[in-house]
Structure 1
Amino acid sequence: MKALCSSLCLAAVMATGAQGNATSTGLQVDVVHYWISNSESAAIDVYRNAWTSAGNQWTDLPVDGEAALKRVVSERIANGYPPAVTQWNLDARAVELPSFGVTQDIEALAQRDHWRKLLPAFVIDVISYGDRIYFAPSNIHLENWLWTSQTIFNELGLAPPETWDELFATAERIEAAGYPAIAMGSAPWEAALIFHSIMYDTMGAEGYAAVFHGDRDAVLAPSMREALDRLRRVSRFTEPATARAGRTWADATRMIGRGEAGMQLMGDWAKGELVSLGYTAGQDFGCSFIPGTSATHFMAIDGFAFPLTARDGAAHAQHTFARMVLEPDNQLAFSRLKGSLPVRTDIDPAELDHCGQLGLQRIRDEAHHDGVHSRAMPSHTMAAWISTLSEFFDDATISSQVAQQRLSKIVTEG
């Protein structure tokens, strides 16, 4: 965090000296992002194609993951050549950028296009700093989905599980039939993603939130131990870490589409991957929410930030880019490919598939929109949290008691 702050604060001085030229061939942007899977690439192509078809130029700067993106962006800003546009997770930590004074606000555009009427209040909250808007939101992700292979569920006469007991009983049936019950990749964050849904069910909304805000008693509560015990049960229905080595979440998703595994607990970007491979919701795969979870506590918003730069025409290009992101056709096309939900309130649910309609209905029905509490953790704390959960998931010799003590130390000591 200190390194990021130093780099970004240095940028506020250096960015004003960055030079560049507008071009007669349209507006220019260089875009840093980590949307690199098949479905993610197809989704960002929606924006790229809309931009270039208007006669503008787009320089693509893909990186491998959020950590790499933050490193690249902070280094470029600190060295005086910030990108015009960068993807950014719009969570509690997003305020770093405007608070350091290194991104331009797009308040004038937001007022002109009536964003405060067009976007839900919970979206306005995360794209604002003070009384001004700084980010252009692209989509809403829900992290607490259960994806099922329609092929396997039809073969075994299974229904989507509505409780954890039903989920484990379903997993036993799938495993007995010779299939991996729960598909999973090898990335450490996948175990944490599953655990957070389990925590919410065992600890309730208040206990779940308290853990991520450093409450030692909450981390050491019996319900936290129960959550770890349940995560251990999940691990027994996945393939061993050695078999999953090198497998990505997208590889695991393909197993669902091909009918090679029964279930995957994963965010709605999995649907984007399935759709990109030609699979259809309700025909090749099913969707429901992980038992015991609230959609709006697992809601993450993606968007774009616009670093300050003195390049000729850059501010105009950034405002034009932000407007393009919110165009209704682009919102729909992007969300269909990404597997996510549009941020605009005027999108007709009938334009979405069954899973999209289900997700949209859930976030509209639930009055309280709290977002993903785990994203409120400092980056270094979250990295240690994820590493500990992944190690526990893959190593059956680590007891729930030991894992609980390790997590308590991480959360309370930071």
Structure 2
Amino acid sequence: MADTSSVFSRGGGGGAFEGHVQAAFLTTLITQGRVPCIPAAEIEELAFQATRLGYATDDLFVRAKVSGGNEHRMLLQLKYNLTLSASNDTFCEVISAFWVDYNNAALFNPALDKLVIVKSGLNEIERNHTKVLLNWAKHKTSSQDFFLEVNRIQVKKERLQVFTDVLTAVNQGVALTDDEVWQFLRCVELLDYDFLQTGSVDEAHVLSLLNLARSEDATSDARAIWNDLLAMASHLNLNGGSITSISVREEPVYQQFGFRRLVPAYQALQRLQSNGQAILLPMKNTVGGYQLSREDTKARITQSVNESHFTIVAGAAGVGKSALMRDWLTEQVDGNAFFVFRADQFNKPHLSQVLTEQGVNAELEELFACLSRPAIAIQVEVIIRPALYRPGW
């Protein structure tokens, strides 16, 4: 087969992308941030080149735990510019490794663990349809419900067919049942980061977090600390190493960190999110025990949020705008990634006053630095997505 890889990949760019993502997870481990895909969990261990642990998925292993709750494992494949196609050998290898690990009951629990594809960017179809497809799998109550929803929309059917074709191939040519496909897809996540791109938002966010987390006695600036973390990730990857939230404290780079500013920022973020949940929870999405399916409207919201800085959901009073947005947030947005406000809370001359009345004294930049996914703020019927922000690392 002809080598169709890019000059970037052949020159080691793919490995550089892998190293940047691994270093970002190292940053999250050290700063005790929230891990993507598993709301409220903190990383306890990272393992590089995880085949030595018995996994087929080898780029990065993450063990995370919710305080006082369950332990979760994430198996990540980090691929620069991956094409999600049944004709792409790398994608087939990724799904093959996922399938092996998914069926290894000793190492993987489908109810708690995640299989994560990380790539360097999502195209329009992947962002508006593949991610939606995977979110539907998680939130539908049965395979029948899932397939009924998918089969209504041709582009969703095509995206699903990619997965079913590859799964059939890796399952020695034996087609999976609808329920088997659905159960597998419930564990799959798709993330993207723009490391190595000119003007990288993700790198800018990492530097903001590192600046917030620097000790007052630090001898290195945020950029130097980031370079040290990249070198540390490279060393661990080369040697198939592991590091925990305890052992990392022995590393020289850890001495550059302090938590005087970081801890209050995390506490402020948690308070703001808790206040938002108190607004969301009373919103009812059923009438007389019935819930309307508004998937077409949700799909339009998803596309608008992905393509625009501002999305406005408007309609007559009582048509269910708030309930619609509660459902959309639950299905499409990471649990750490949105704030909820009432319109009357913004009846102040300055945004700082709005936050202060919520018991939040941190600066917006500090709040964004602590988030694990893009921030979305809601003002009753309005969703606001800050331009070019990727909170998370």
Q: Which protein has greater RCO, CA pairs closer than 8 Å, 6+ apart?
A: 1
Same fold (TM over 0.5): no
TM-score range, shorter chain: under 0.3
| More helix per residue | 1
Give the TM-score normalised by the residue count of structure 1.
0.23
